[in-house]
């Protein structure tokens, strides 16, 4: 890339270096994208960026290979009765889909049409979220599902049950301590935005302890002051024991608690059975380390405690996230009147933040329930794990049509065999994708979508990160706009995902009305799609910094508020309190304390989740060639030897629900007794023999209706009892 001229913004397709940002994950790294002959040849981190300082990862760099990849889907596809696919013109595909959607909704009611918006719907265009909501509202269907309810649903639900401090937490802003429970931002970038190393450098500089709880000695755990390496699934008990120490020793911030918190006695009683020695013993950690961790956190003045997917997926996301909030609240880790808010948001509105508590709100059981397991929507959305049952269960309102945008149900939904059965049972399954993914290959129609460097974008989503969890997002106000920098390949008939919904609504004669954070809803013209600029102006309406200003800057910039934004004092007479003694959570703790330790001798190992550095959830054709195209089963060398296996051997991983093939790797960072594997790989069972080329789907090992949390319906997806078996001789693919 050395020597290529920098191209001013707005000259799409011009040869040279364009400034843009990656949207493969929500870290939105600023990139320099090299264009030759109108096509993308390379993308690397933008070294001129003051915050990321050139940081990017292998996923973002290899994404550049997708634009002209031979496996990129560039024509809409329709399935023929024999299961093969033929290209159809986009207008024809949209006409046919709209007609069938309208007919199904007319016959079975609007609820029979469902939508699933995956991660690649959430990130690629700032207008997608508003369009999706508007589309389903126009149809009159409440059946919108997302990964939110199979990820860390407890984050939003627990905030509802606990109440919210109406100013930010201390987060990554000069912390005295950081507690990361099952979260590995060096690989996942889930946490502070920017270069993931910066948080740890800041902690080192301040001499602040890093506390990590993870059954694997992860990249983050290796830097920890204290690393508890428990067996999985013990987080609720471990956190209850931590809270018991904090309460018993009068640590934390009793003055804050006296002023702003209710439910302390109920919490004290609920955590009483969790004595640190017994809890540590059952979890397999040193009791002194557990107590030291509790005291270290409890004595800190500023800091944050955050959970990742591991503990959420181990079966009680809401309980874990609630206990993490209780810990922060007992320690008063929320900003007070007069303190500066470095990042009040840039491309979102910035309401006044006050040092006061918004009391709990209804958080689950919201709206009309689905027809299975007593589940309903929660603050994390509809219960995604129940969607396959909703499709399969006969009766009025049964889901018959599914629009799946930027997600991969076959790879991502727990209980893969049930998910596949459900997808095959649909009358209409439309998949918006960039290649013939495993989900696309079950769809009636596959609609190819535009890739992000082919469309304009903003980093609005970065502004929302700090409100999702403490310690997440940028510490100072930051934003970037990127115009489209190349056109789609010549002859391609691709569509932006928001525009796909616009075009369907137009054909169905439905009026789209967009919710706007900063003002009144906006009705779109039913015939004429908004221009890029109009659309961005609508979805950013009322933002602290006008989107036009950010659009005028070539590249990313900091947008420090002037004068600085500070937390305002509480309103006079305000009486809201945070609740640390929610009765549902207290009942969960009571039954946890009463539950005997469970062991299943037939399935002596536990499968745990992890992320791989070179893949974002589902494998795509743009994966780097020098990395494995499969997801290895990482096991401790001791367990490998005990099973008579060598690294690279193929095995069967079996749970009570199902079995997959996997290639084993020795990994001494994994605690003995565990199998650590990422999801997103593999395909339907017929392709199991291709494990070395495509990996395997861990979702097949999960039952969606046995162990699940009542709030979101999220099943146990980590800490799943499994065993390793030899591959039957006849089918080994060696």
* Residues at the contact surface with ligand SF4, assessed by CB under 6 A: 22, 24-25, 27-29, 56-57, 59-60, 189
Complete DSSP assignment for 157-186? HHHHHH-EESS-B-TTSS-S-EEEES--HH
Partner interacting with residue 719 (select from ligand MGD, ligand SF4, Mo ion, none; CB below 5-8 Å by kind) = ligand MGD
Taking the complex as a whole, the smallest distance from the CB of residue 457 to ligand MGD amounts, in Å, to: 11
Instruction: Fill in the per-residue mask, 22 to 61: x = in contact with ligand MGD (CB under 6 A), - = not in contact.
Output: ---x------------------------------------
Intra-chain end-to-end CA distance of the chain, in Å: 41
**Peptide bond preceding 507 in cis form (omega within 30 of 0):** no
Shorter beta-carbon distance to ligand SF4: residue 110 or 624: 624
Q: Which of 713, 683, 711, 707 is nearest to 696 (CA)?
A: 683
Q: Which helix (H) or strand (E) holds 116?
A: strand 113-117
Taking the complex as a whole, the smallest distance from the CB of residue 337 to ligand MGD amounts, in Å, to: 33
CB 297 within 8 A of CB 331: yes
Classify residue 685 as exposed, middle or buried by CB count within 10 Å of its CB (0-12, 13-18, 19+).
middle
Shorter beta-carbon distance to Mo ion: residue 96 or 151: 151
Partner interacting with residue 717 (select from Mo ion, ligand SF4, ligand MGD, none; CB below 5-8 Å by kind) = ligand MGD
Instruction: Fill in the per-residue mask, 89 to 128: x = in contact with ligand MGD (CB under 6 A), - = not in contact.
Output: -----------------------------xxx---x----
Partner interacting with residue 443 (select from Mo ion, ligand MGD, ligand SF4, none; CB below 5-8 Å by kind) = none
Taking the complex as a whole, the smallest distance from the CB of residue 574 to ligand MGD amounts, in Å, to: 35
Cβ atoms within 10 Å of 535's Cβ, excluding its own: 24
Taking the complex as a whole, the smallest distance from the CB of residue 179 to ligand SF4 amounts, in Å, to: 23
Asked if 503 is part of the footprint of ligand MGD (rule: CB under 6 A), the reply reads no
Shorter beta-carbon distance to ligand MGD: residue 172 or 615: 615
Q: How far apart are CA 685 and CA 646, in angstroms?
A: 25
Q: How far apart are CA 685 and CA 70, in angstroms?
A: 25
Number of residues that bind ligand MGD (CB under 6 A): 66
Shorter beta-carbon distance to ligand MGD: residue 234 or 244: 234
Residue nearest to Mo ion (CB): 151
Asked if 382 is part of the footprint of ligand MGD (rule: CB under 6 A), the reply reads no
Asked if 215 is part of the footprint of ligand MGD (rule: CB under 6 A), the reply reads yes
- Give, in order, the Cα–Cα distances in Å from 419 to each of 120, 340, 389, 616: 19, 48, 8, 21
Asked if 216 is part of the footprint of ligand MGD (rule: CB under 6 A), the reply reads yes
Asked if 500 is part of the footprint of ligand MGD (rule: CB under 6 A), the reply reads no
CB 307 within 8 A of CB 255: no
Output the six-digit token pair for 348.
């979102």
Shorter beta-carbon distance to ligand MGD: residue 40 or 545: 40
Taking the complex as a whole, the smallest distance from the CB of residue 151 to Mo ion amounts, in Å, to: 4
Shorter beta-carbon distance to ligand SF4: residue 119 or 470: 119
Q: Which of residues 162-181 bind ligand MGD (CB under 6 A)?
A: 181
CB 26 within 8 A of CB 123: yes
Partner interacting with residue 408 (select from ligand MGD, Mo ion, ligand SF4, none; CB below 5-8 Å by kind) = ligand MGD
Which position among 45, 76, 168, 182 is part of the footprint of ligand MGD (CB under 6 A)? 182
State the residues that interact with Mo ion by CB under 5 A: 151
Shorter beta-carbon distance to ligand MGD: residue 188 or 356: 188
Shorter beta-carbon distance to ligand SF4: residue 28 or 478: 28
Partner interacting with residue 214 (select from Mo ion, ligand MGD, ligand SF4, none; CB below 5-8 Å by kind) = ligand MGD
Which position among 187, 392, 516, 593 is part of the footprint of ligand MGD (CB under 6 A)? 187
Taking the complex as a whole, the smallest distance from the CB of residue 418 to ligand SF4 amounts, in Å, to: 31
Q: Which of 220, 189, 152, 151 is nearest to 412 (CA)?
A: 151
* CA angle 600–603–604, rounded 5-degree value: 80
Q: Provide the pairing of β-strand 77-79 with 650-654.
A: unpaired
Taking the complex as a whole, the smallest distance from the CB of residue 197 to ligand SF4 amounts, in Å, to: 12
Hey, is 118 helix, strand or coil? coil
Asked if 412 is part of the footprint of ligand MGD (rule: CB under 6 A), the reply reads yes
CA dihedral 48→50→51→53, nearest 10 degrees, is 40
Q: How far apart are CA 586 and CA 584, in angstroms?
A: 5
SS3 string, 267-306, reads HHHHHCCCCHHHHHHHHCCCHHHHHHHHHHHHCCCCCEEE
In which residue are the tokens 């600029």 written?
A: 533
Which position among 155, 465, 474, 679 is part of the footprint of ligand MGD (CB under 6 A)? 679
Asked if 579 is part of the footprint of ligand MGD (rule: CB under 6 A), the reply reads no
Asked if 423 is part of the footprint of ligand MGD (rule: CB under 6 A), the reply reads no
Q: Which of 333, 400, 375, 436 is nearest to 684 (CA)?
A: 436
Q: How far apart are CA 80 and CA 76, in angstroms?
A: 13
Which position among 717, 722, 724, 727 is part of the footprint of ligand MGD (CB under 6 A)? 717
Q: Which of 305, 312, 311 is nearest to 151 (CA)?
A: 312
Partner interacting with residue 216 (select from Mo ion, ligand SF4, ligand MGD, none; CB below 5-8 Å by kind) = ligand MGD
Half-sphere exposure of 722 (CA within 13 A, CB side): 33
Asked if 694 is part of the footprint of ligand MGD (rule: CB under 6 A), the reply reads no
Q: How far apart are CA 535 and CA 299, in angstroms?
A: 48
Asked if 543 is part of the footprint of ligand MGD (rule: CB under 6 A), the reply reads no
Partner interacting with residue 632 (select from ligand MGD, ligand SF4, Mo ion, none; CB below 5-8 Å by kind) = none
Q: Which residues of 451-480 are buried (b: 16+ CB within 10 A; e: fewer)?
A: bbbbbbbbbbbbbbbbeebbbbbbbbbbbb
Partner interacting with residue 29 (select from ligand MGD, Mo ion, ligand SF4, none; CB below 5-8 Å by kind) = ligand SF4
Asked if 684 is part of the footprint of ligand MGD (rule: CB under 6 A), the reply reads no
Taking the complex as a whole, the smallest distance from the CB of residue 33 to ligand MGD amounts, in Å, to: 15
Q: Which of residues 348-377 bind ligand MGD (CB under 6 A)?
A: none
Shorter beta-carbon distance to ligand MGD: residue 339 or 690: 690
Q: How far apart are CA 719 and CA 722, in angstroms?
A: 9
Residue nearest to ligand MGD (CB): 310
Asked if 244 is part of the footprint of ligand MGD (rule: CB under 6 A), the reply reads no
Give rounded-to-5 percent helix, strand, coil for the chain: 35, 20, 45
Q: Which of 111, 153, 696, 112 is nearest to 384 (CA)?
A: 153
Q: Which of 184, 146, 116, 150 is nearest to 699 (CA)?
A: 150
List residues binding ligand MGD (CB under 6 A).
25, 118-120, 124, 147, 150-151, 181-185, 187-190, 213-216, 218, 232-233, 235, 308-311, 313-314, 406-408, 411-412, 414, 432-435, 437, 439, 449, 451, 497, 608-613, 615-618, 620, 676, 679-680, 698-699, 702, 717-719
């Amino acid at each position: 890339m050395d020597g290529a001229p920098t191209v001013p913004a707005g000259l799409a397709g011009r040869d040279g270096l364009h400034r843009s940002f990656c949207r493969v994950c929500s870290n939105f790294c600023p990139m320099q994208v090299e264009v030759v002959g109108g096509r993308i040849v390379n993308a690397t981190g933008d070294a001129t960026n003051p915050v990321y300082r050139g940081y990017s990862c292998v996923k973002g760099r290899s994404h550049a290979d997708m634009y002209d990849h031979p496996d990129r889907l560039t024509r809409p596809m329709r399935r023929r009765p024999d299961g093969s696919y033929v290209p159809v013109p986009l207008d024809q595909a949209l006409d046919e889909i709209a007609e069938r959607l309208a007919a199904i909704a007319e016959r079975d009611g609007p609820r029979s049409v469902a939508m699933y918006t995956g991660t690649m719907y959430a990130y690629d265009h700032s207008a997608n979220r508003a369009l999706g909501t508007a589309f389903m509202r126009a149809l009159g269907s409440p059946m919108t599902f997302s990964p939110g309810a199979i990820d860390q649903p407890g984050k939003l639900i627990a905030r509802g049950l606990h109440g919210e401090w109406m100013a930010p937490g201390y987060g990554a802003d000069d912390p005295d301590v950081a507690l990361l429970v099952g979260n590995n931002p060096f690989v996942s970038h889930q946490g502070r935005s920017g270069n993931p190393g910066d948080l740890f450098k800041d902690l080192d500089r301040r001499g602040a302890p890093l506390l990590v709880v993870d059954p694997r000695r992860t990249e983050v755990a290796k830097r920890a002051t204290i690393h508890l390496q428990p067996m999985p699934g013990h987080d609720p008990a471990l956190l209850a024991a931590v809270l018991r120490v904090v309460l018993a020793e009068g640590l934390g911030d009793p003055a804050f608690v006296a002023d702003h918190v209710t439910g302390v006695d109920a919490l004290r009683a609920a955590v009483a059975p969790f004595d640190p020695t017994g809890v540590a013993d059952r979890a397999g950690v040193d009791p002194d380390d557990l107590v030291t961790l509790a005291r270290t956190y409890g004595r800190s003045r500023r800091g944050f405690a955050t959970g990742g997917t591991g503990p959420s997926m181990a079966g009680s996301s809401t309980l874990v996230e609630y206990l993490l909030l209780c810990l922060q609240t007992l320690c008063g880790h929320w900003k007070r009147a007069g303190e500066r808010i470095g990042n009040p948001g840039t491309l979102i509105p910035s309401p006044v933040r006050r040092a006061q508590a918004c009391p709990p709100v209804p958080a689950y059981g919201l709206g009309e329930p689905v027809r299975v397991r007593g589940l309903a929507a929660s603050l994390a959305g509809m219960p995604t794990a129940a969607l396959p049952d909703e499709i399969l269960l006969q009766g009025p309102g049964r889901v018959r049509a599914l629009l799946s945008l930027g997600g991969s149900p076959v790879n991502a939904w727990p209980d893969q065999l049930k998910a596949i059965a459900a997808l095959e049972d649909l009358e209409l399954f439309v998949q918006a994708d960039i290649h013939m993914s495993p989900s696309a290959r079950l769809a009636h129609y596959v609609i190819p979508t535009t890739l992000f460097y082919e469309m304009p974008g903003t980093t609005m989503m970065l502004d929302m990160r700090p409100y999702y969890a403490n310690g997440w997002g940028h510490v100072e106000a930051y934003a970037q706009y990127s115009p489209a920098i190349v056109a789609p390949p010549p002859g391609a008939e691709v569509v932006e995902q928001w525009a796909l919904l616009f075009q369907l609504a137009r054909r169905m004669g439905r009026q789209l009305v967009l919710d706007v954070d900063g003002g009144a809803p906006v009705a779109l013209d039913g015939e004429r799609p908004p221009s890029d600029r109009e659309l961005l102006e609508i979805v950013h309406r009322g933002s602290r910094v006008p989107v036009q200003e950010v659009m005028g800057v070539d590249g990313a910039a900091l947008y420090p508020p002037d004068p600085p934004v500070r937390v305002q004092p509480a309103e006079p007479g305000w009486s809201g309190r945070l609740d640390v003694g929610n009765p549902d959570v207290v009942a969960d703790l009571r039954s946890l304390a009463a539950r005997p330790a469970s062991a299943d001798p037939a399935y002596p190992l536990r499968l745990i989740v992890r992320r791989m550095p070179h893949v974002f959830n589902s494998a795509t054709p743009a994966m780097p060639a020098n990395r494995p195209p499969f997801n290895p089963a990482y096991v401790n060398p001791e367990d490998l030897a005990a099973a008579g296996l060598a690294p690279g051997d193929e095995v069967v991983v079996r749970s009570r629900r199902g079995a997959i093939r996997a290639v084993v790797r020795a990994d001494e960072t994994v605690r003995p007794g565990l199998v650590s594997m990422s999801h997103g790989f593999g395909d339907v069972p017929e392709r199991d023999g291709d494990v070395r080329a495509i990996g395997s789907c861990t979702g097949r090992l999960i039952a969606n209706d046995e162990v699940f949390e009542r709030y979101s319906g999220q099943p146990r997806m980590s800490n799943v009892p499994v065993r390793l078996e030899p591959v039957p001789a006849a089918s080994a693919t060696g």
